[in-house]
Structure formats: structure tokens, C-alpha cells
Amino acid sequence: MIKIDKNLEDFQYEEALKKYAELYNLKKSKGKNEREFADTNKMYVIYARKSTEDEKRQVQSIEDQIGHCKVYAHNNNLHVVEIIREEKSAKTAGKRAQFNTMIETIKRGDSYNSILAWHPDRLARNMKESGEIMDLVDNQIIVDLKFSSYTYNNDAGGKLTLSILFAMAKEFSDKLSEDTKRGNHKKISEGKYIGTQKKGYIPNRDDFFRKDANTFEIYRTTWDMYGKGATQTSILKYLADNDIDMSENAISLFFQDPFYAGFYSYGTQIVDLKKVDPSFTPMVAPRDFINVQKINRDNPRGWKRSVGFRPFEHFMMCADCGRPMTPAFSTGRGGRYLKVSCGSQECKEIRRKNQIKPVTNTINAGVILDFAIKFIEEIKDQIDVKIYNNAKEKFMYGRDLNTKILKRKYQY
């Protein structure tokens, strides 16, 4: 039971009630209508952004933007509590980590509640994030917006104009992207450099690919080495001895790129460089390039090549991706073991996504043999003699033909 002091005067109770109401007003969550009439203490964050994608076209650098905003804040007595810098395009929603953090901070009511930027297009160039900003302004979650190069009034007319500016920023971003794609398409069709480096080549002043005097012959030698059976380790060592550092993945991609045989492949475009740039010098002849690709196709899991017998080659298909599986030997405590594995990266991603272990689809050769023996035992009484003899005849013919080819190729 609350004890009431009867000696207090009524005006003292009224003063105590007023103090309570003030504290209550500070703590309670306010609705939209209440916030519109509240005289909120505005605390600003300066947000400066520069797109890495349009380096040459950017009007103001990040530090220039911040400088303009600081001067604006000083001249207009704005209370700035934080500065955020971000080098990221605003074309696509959800890609800017600092922007997302700023919005979440404002939503929580922490640190700052208003934004100061150089121009509206620094905040958003896509409809999703510009719409989110307008919604937060409408609901007084973002208490105020200020721009050092644009006058914004926080009223119906100001919001309409700001929405138009956001839409114009999106239109500019879309047009910039289209112009860039159009320009790249034209340069590719002419066989010109568009920012993607090619090993052993450098762009001349007209952006055509020309031999790099320092590295072209080194890289060309690697094609000869690979075509003659060199291992990945030996090729990487050769490059390292010539002061070229390459990763295993990079050298694999290098030997798959048709550019080095004279066909420029970018996006959906394929350009015959000899037709558009007669002075272009291919690094490898088309015949040699195709032979290298055959090596890759026949041995998708690695570089170790052998002319020896490999059971089940071109015999097993992966149940996950449908690609041919490759036989290989492994060594364990009991000796050497034959296994058949799928080397497809796509297959590995499917198995990883479905949480299938091991990630690489691998089958022990013993399992394959046990299955084959069991299958033959189950159907041996159902096999037609004529069908068996016909299959045997085709098998023997194929075996003899392969033997002749191997003898001719390896001269034994």
C-alpha cells in the first residue's frame, strides 16, 4: 500500500506529475502522428559514397564529399556524430554493407537519426533502397535529410522532388551500365582490350593485343610442354624459374582459354581475332590447342597422364551429374587400390549443397566388380547365345583395332 504524505501541497503533486510525464514522454514509443509534432534533437551521420565501377566518371571523391558536408554542417549548426565512407556502387540493392549498417542504426535509434550527404544519388540509385529511405522519412524514423549540394525541405513537396531525384539517379545508373556494355561490346567485336589481362600480351595505344616482349615466349613454351606430356608441377616450376607466379587454378584456366589460339571469347561474344586484327599473333596453333583440350577432357581430374591400362575408363558415368568418371590408383596400407571418381566441380557443388559426403563422388573398383559379377550370375541363364556371340565378336574387333592403333602410335 502506497503511503501518501498529507503535508504536500496540491501544486507540489502537480510538479511531481509534470516531471513524471516528461520522463514518460522520453521513454515511451511514439506513433507517427506524435513524432510529426515532436521537437526531436537531430543528430546527423555524414554518408559519403564513391562507386568503384565508374572511377573515371565520378564527380566528387569521398574526401571531397565529406569536406563539403562538414562545411554545410558548420554553416547550418548541424550536430554530426559520425562519418561513414563507402566505395561501392548503389546500382544494386543490398550490396552496401556500410549503408545497411547506417539504416539499421537509425532504425534502432542508436547514435544518430538523420543523414547528411553530398547529393541524393550518393544514398541510392535503385528503387528498393530509395523507396526504403522515403518510407523511413515518411514515418519519421529518419528525422531529417540534408544535402550539401541540394536543398531538401522535409514536407510533401520536398519528398516528391526527392523521389524524382532518386528515380533520375536510377535512370542515370541504368544508362551508364548500358553505355558501358555497348562500349565493351564494340571493343570486343574489334578485338580490343577491355580491362581483362591476357598472359603474354599487352594492349598497345589503340588497345589491340600485342606480344609482351618479356613473357610471350615463356608462356608459348608452356603450351609446347603441356602438349608433350609435362606435368602441372613441372610447368609451374618452369614459370617460377622465369619469375612468373601462377596458381594451379590460374594455369588450368590459361590452357582452356581459346584467346591464345586466336578466338576472343567474352560473355556471349566470340571474335576471330585474325579477321578483325590481322596483326594479332596467336600463342598456339588451333590444332595444338584442340589437342590440349582433348587431354583435359580425357583426364578431367588432374594432370598426371599415363598410356598404361586404366580399367573402367569411359565406362562409368556419375549418378549425380552424368559426366564420365575417371579411374585412378591410390596407395593404402594394403597396397595399391583402384577407384573411379568424378572430377566435375559442378558435381561437387551439387553434393555439397545436398550435404552428401564425400564431396567427390568416388567408387571403389571392388564394388564395381562385385556388382558386375552378381549381375552376370543373376542373368546368365537368360542370355541368348546369338546375342552373346554377336557382342563378343564386336568386342574382339574393337579390342584388336585399339591394339593396332596403340602399336602404331607408340611403335612397339
186-201 confidence digits (pLDDT tens) = 888 888 888 778 999 9
Neighbours of 302 (CB within 10 A): 13
Residues carrying CATH 3.40.50.1390, the chain = 35-175
- DSSP 3-state assignment of 14? helix
In DSSP terms, 47 is beta-bridged to 84, 117
pLDDT over threshold 80, residue 88: no
Segment 116-131 mean pLDDT: 78
Segment 219-247 mean pLDDT: 88
Mean pLDDT over the full length of the chain: 77
Residues carrying CATH 3.90.1750.20, the chain = 201-298
pLDDT over threshold 80, residue 164: no
Torsional sign, CA 52, 57, 59, 63: positive
Quote the CA–CA distance of 235 and 224 in Å, as a whole number.
Answer: 10
pLDDT over threshold 60, residue 252: yes
Segment 14-18 mean pLDDT: 69
Return the pLDDT at 116. Answer: 92
Secondary structure element (H or E) that encloses residue 351, with its range: helix 345-353
Return the pLDDT at 122. Answer: 81
Report the half-sphere exposure of 274 (CA within 13 A, side-chain side): 10
Of 301 and 76, which is predicted with more confidence? Answer: 76
Return the pLDDT at 239. Answer: 92
pLDDT over threshold 90, residue 411: no
For the domain spanning 35-175, the CATH number is 3.40.50.1390
Segment 313-319 mean pLDDT: 77
Return the pLDDT at 139. Answer: 84
Return the pLDDT at 91. Answer: 56
Spatial CA neighbour of 358 closest among 336, 337, 343: 343
- Tens of pLDDT along 317-374? 888 777 778 887 776 666 777 888 887 777 888 888 888 888 888 888 888 888 888 8
Quote the CA–CA distance of 310 and 328 in Å, as a whole number.
Answer: 7
Segment 156-169 mean pLDDT: 65
Joined together, the cell numbers standing for residue 108 give 534502432
Segment 147-165 mean pLDDT: 70
Return the pLDDT at 40. Answer: 54
Return the pLDDT at 266. Answer: 78
Query: CA of 290: how far to CAs of 116, 261, 275, 284, in Å?
Result: 59, 9, 20, 10
Of 377 and 69, which is predicted with more confidence? Answer: 69
Torsional sign, CA 136, 138, 141, 144: positive
pLDDT over threshold 80, residue 277: yes
Chain centroid offset of residue 94 CA: 15
Segment 23-33 mean pLDDT: 54
Of 19 and 2, which is predicted with more confidence? Answer: 19
pLDDT over threshold 90, residue 248: no
In DSSP terms, 363 is beta-bridged to 340
Q: How confident is the model at residue 300 (pLDDT cuts 50, 70, 90)?
A: very low
Q: Between vectors from CA 188 to CA 271 and to CA 88, what angle results, nearest 5°?
A: 140
**Range with top average pLDDT, 29-43, 85-99, 219-233:** 219-233
pLDDT over threshold 90, residue 112: no
Of 49 and 53, which is predicted with more confidence? Answer: 49
Helix 156-189 to helix 127-138 angle (10° resolution) is 170
Return the pLDDT at 301. Answer: 42
Q: C-alpha dihedral over 367, 372, 374, 377, to 10 degrees?
A: -160
Neighbours of 308 (CB within 10 A): 6
pLDDT over threshold 80, residue 128: no
Question: What type of residue sits at position 206?
Answer: D
Q: Which long-range contacts (CB under 8 A, 24 or more apart) does 232-240 make?
A: 232/302, 232/303, 233/303
Q: Are strands 114-117 and 80-86 parallel, antiparallel or unpaired?
A: unpaired
Joined together, the cell numbers standing for residue 283 give 600463342
Residues 162, 120 contacting (CB under 8 angstroms): yes
Superfamily of chain region 201-298: Putative Large Serine Recombinase; Chain B, Domain 2 (3.90.1750.20)
**Lowest mean pLDDT across 10-14, 55-59, 318-322:** 55-59
* Alpha helix ranges (H) inside 200-245: 216-227, 232-241
